[in-house]
Amino acid sequence: MRGEELLATLHAEARAGRPVAAVMRHAARHPIADPQRPEIAELTTDGCAAAEAFGAQLGSFSRVRLFHSPVKRCQQTAECIARGVQVAGGSVELVGAHPALGIDYIRDLAEAGRLTVQHGEHFVRLWFEGRVPPAVIDPIPALAALKLDFVRAQLAAAAPGSLDLHVSHDWNIIILREHLVGVRHEDAGWLTFLDGVTFRAGERGLRAVYREHAREV
C-alpha cells in the first residue's frame, strides 16, 4: 500500500493530543496523455483500493475531515479514503472541494505543459527560482502562504484528536515540502501517491513535518 510513511507521521504527531492535518497527493491515476490537460486523468482501480486501505488505518482519530482539489481524481481519492475510514468504524466527513488545493495557479496550461516537456524534472527548480514567468504560473512564496493559510484556518476549528486530510497534487505538496519544511525537490524526488506534508497545531503556530524533517511555521 502507498502512504505508509505519511500514515506513520500522522499517528506520531497525533500523540500530542492536538488536531493534525496533512496536504497529501491523490492516489494512483492513469497516465497523463496530454500535458496541456492534466486534470482529465482519473484514478486507477488499484489507486482507489490503495486510498481505501489508507483510510482504513485512520480509525483511531476522533474524526476525519476530507477536503480535496476540484480535480476529479482528488475527489475520487477523498471518497475512497472516506469509505476506508467508515469500514474501520471511524467518524468521517467529506467536506468537499476547495480552490486552494487545486491547480488554478497555472495561468497558461499550454505553455506550462510545453515547459515541463522541454525541461523535464528541472522545470521545478526553474519555477522555484522564479525563472518561469508569472503569466505562466504563480510564484512560489504566495502559493505557499495561500495553502498554509487554508490548512491553518481549518485546523483552528478542528477538535482535539481529529485529522484533516487535504487531497491535492504533487506540485502543491512539493511547494510545501521545500518552502516550509526545507526539503529540496532534488533531494527527495517526486512525491509518491498518498504521500504528503503533515501539520500539527502547537502553542506558537503549526509544526510542519516531512519524514524526519520538521519546522515551526
**In this structure, is residue 122 part of a structural domain?**
no
The amino acid at 179: H
**In this structure, is residue 115 part of a structural domain?**
no
**In this structure, is residue 19 part of a structural domain?**
yes
Our separate counts of H helices and E strands in the chain read 8, 7
**In this structure, is residue 174 part of a structural domain?**
yes
Domain enclosing residue 47, as ranges: 4-104+140-216
Q: Which of 149, 181, 142, 179 is nearest to 166 (CA)?
A: 149
Beta bridge partners of 209: 198, 214
Residue pLDDT tens, the chain, 217 long: 689 999 999 999 999 999 999 999 999 987 766 665 666 667 999 999 999 999 999 999 999 999 999 999 999 999 999 999 999 999 999 999 999 999 999 999 889 989 988 998 899 999 999 999 999 999 999 999 999 999 999 999 999 999 999 999 999 999 999 999 999 999 998 899 999 999 998 777 899 999 999 999 9
Q: What is the C-alpha to C-alpha distance for residues 101 and 71, in angstroms, rounded to an integer?
A: 9
**In this structure, is residue 93 part of a structural domain?**
yes
**In this structure, is residue 12 part of a structural domain?**
yes
Question: Cβ neighbours of residue 157 under 8 Å, at least 6 residues apart?
Answer: none
Phi, psi (5° rounding) for residue 124? -60, -45
What pTM does this model have? 0.93
Residue 4 falls in which region: left (phi positive, over 0), alpha (psi -120 to 50) or beta: alpha
Domains of the chain: total: 1
Reported as half-sphere exposure (CB side, CA atoms, 13 A), residue 140 has a value of: 18
**In this structure, is residue 85 part of a structural domain?**
yes
Q: Which of 167, 166, 173, 208 is nearest to 190 (CA)?
A: 173
What CATH number has the domain bearing residue 91? 3.40.50.1240
